[in-house]
Amino acid sequence: MRSTVRNCRLCRRCKLTAYAWDANFNLPALKAAEAAFQKVNPDFELEVVLQSGSSDVEQAVTLAGSSGDLSTLPDIVLFQDHYIQSFVRNYPDCWQDLEGAGINWDDFGAEKLSYSTIEGVHYGAPVDNGTAIFAYRTDILEQCGYTIADVTGISWDRWLEIAKEVKDKTGMALLSMDHSGDDLPYMMMQAEGLSQWQDGKPNFVDNEALTKIIEVIVQGANDGSIILANSWSEYTDQTIMGDQVAGVMNGNWIIPTISQVADNSGKWALTSLPTIEGGKEGYAANGGSSLYITGNCQKVELAKQFLAYTFGGGEGSMETYDNALRTGGVITCCLSAGTSDVYQEGVPFFGGQAIYSDIVAMGAFVPVIEQSDYHYNARTYIGNAITNIQNGADLATEIQFAQDQVSFEMGF
C-alpha cells in the first residue's frame, strides 16, 4: 500500500495519546508502531498512558459516555475484543470509525475482524493475535510412544485415551486451565465452528456439542489428565511453570508463560486443537484486542494514517510487528506481516519450529461464530456447572440451570 503520510513540522499537531495496559506486552507493540511511523513522519509522537488493566480503559469510556464529557478520553484506546460491541452500542459518541483509513481489511482473518466490525462498519484496527494453540511437551509424549503428529487432528475421545496414558506413565496431566475463568468450553466449541449462543440467546440446553465438551472436561478432570486450577496464579505458576502439565491449550499469549522454564527449552511443540469427531484440525481464538479512535480525537486523519501504516497492513506493518514480537511477544494479526523473515525463524524453545508463522497461518482459519455481550456471564455459569457435575450433580440439570441464570441476567 503506497504511503499517504505527509510530514508535519509542528510537533504539537503530530502528537497522539493512547490508553493501553501491560508494560511488557502492549506497550512494546505501541512503541514499535511509533518508531515505524516516525520514519515517514519524524515529528510524530505517541504518548502511551498505561492503565493498571483493561477494566480501567472500559471504566474511562463508561464515565465519558455516561457524562457526555468526552474530553477525558485520549485519542486512541486499546480495547478488548469481547467487550467492544456493547460499548459501541451503549456509547456511540465515544468512537470514530475507520472507514476510509486505507487499512487493508483483506489482510486479516474474518474471525478477528468480526469483533470490531459493527453493522458493517469498521471501528478497530486489530493488534494482538488471540489464535489458540495446543502446545505439548514432545519429550513426555515420546516417553509414551507418541509424537506431535499423533495429537494433531484427533478426536477428543482419542485425546482422552492418550492423556490417560500420559498420566499413568509419567504422572503429568496433559492439560490445565484456570477454572476461576474457564475458557476451555468456549475454545472447544469454536473449534467445532459452533457457538453457545443462537439468535442472541444462550443455547446451552440440547446443545449436543456443548454437552459432549463438558463431558470431555469432566472425564479428563476425574482422570487427573486435566487440571482445573482454582486461580490464575495456580494455573500459571503451579501447573505450567511448576511442571505439572505436558500440554497447554490457550490463546498464544500463553507462550511467554510456557517459556519461563528454561530447562524445558527444545522440549515443546505446538499444533492445532482436537475436535469432537476428529479427522480435522480445530481452530479457535481466546483473547485479543484492537485499537480504536475515540470521539475526543481532534486529529482523526493523523490517527487513521498511523493505524493504517503500522497495524493495518500498510508499509510499516512488517517492521512494526517484527519489533513488537521481538520486544513484547505480540503476534501480528496481519497475514502479510506474518511472512517476514523474523516470523519464519525457528524458535529454539519449541524445537526449532517456526511457531509464529504457524500461529498467523492458523489464525486465518478460526471460524466466525455468534458472540454475545454476556460471554463472561456464560463462562462463569458453565464453569460452575462443570464443578457441580464433577461433584456428582446431574449434567442436564446443571446445563439447564446455567442457561436459566444467563437468560435471567439478559432479561429473557
> Which residue, among 337, 302, 313, has the nearest Cα to 323 in the 3D structure?
337
What pLDDT is stored for residue 12 in this prediction? 52
Q: Is the pLDDT of residue 306 over 90?
A: yes
SS3 of residue 227 by DSSP: strand
H or E stretch at 312 = none
Q: Are strands 132-137 and 268-271 parallel, antiparallel or unpaired?
A: antiparallel
69-87: average pLDDT: 94
User: What CATH code would you report for 11-130+286-339?
Assistant: 3.40.190.10
> Which residue, among 105, 254, 247, has the nearest Cα to 176 in the 3D structure?
247
H or E stretch at 132 = strand 132-137
142-169: average pLDDT: 98
What pLDDT is stored for residue 374 in this prediction? 93
Q: Is the pLDDT of residue 44 over 90?
A: yes
Domain residue extents for the chain:
11-130+286-339, 133-284+368-410
pLDDT tier at 5, thresholds 50, 70, 90: very low
Q: 85-129: per-residue pLDDT in tens?
A: 999 999 999 999 999 999 999 999 999 999 999 999 999 999 988
Mean residue pLDDT across the chain: 94
299-323: average pLDDT: 96
Q: Is the pLDDT of residue 361 over 50?
A: yes
What pLDDT is stored for residue 4 in this prediction? 45
The residue behind cell 474457564 is 182
Bridge partners of 248, per DSSP, are 135
Provide the grid cell at 335: 497475514
Q: Is the pLDDT of residue 402 over 50?
A: yes
Q: How far is CA 300 from the centre of its chain?
A: 27
Whether 11-130+286-339 shares its CATH topology with 133-284+368-410 is answered: yes
SS3 of residue 347 by DSSP: strand
What pLDDT is stored for residue 113 in this prediction? 93
What pLDDT is stored for residue 23 in this prediction? 87
Q: Angle at which helices 54-67 and 81-90 pack, to 10 degrees?
A: 10
High-pLDDT (> 90) share of the chain, %: 90
345-353: average pLDDT: 96
Q: Is the pLDDT of residue 151 over 90?
A: yes
Q: Are 132 and 285 in contact (CB under 8 A)?
A: yes
**205 phi and psi angles, rounded to 5 deg:** -70, 135
What pLDDT is stored for residue 8 in this prediction? 47
What pLDDT is stored for residue 99 in this prediction? 94
Least confident of 148-152, 216-220, 255-259, 265-269: 255-259
Q: How far apart are CA 128 and CA 254, in angstroms?
A: 13
Q: 58-73: per-residue pLDDT in tens?
A: 999 999 999 999 999 9
User: What CATH code would you report for 133-284+368-410?
Assistant: 3.40.190.10
Q: 239-276: per-residue pLDDT in tens?
A: 999 999 999 999 998 998 999 999 999 999 999 999 99
169-189: average pLDDT: 96
Q: Are 349 and 148 in contact (CB under 8 A)?
A: no
Residue 118: burial class (beta carbons within 10 Å; 0-12, 13-18, 19+): middle
pLDDT tier at 1, thresholds 50, 70, 90: very low
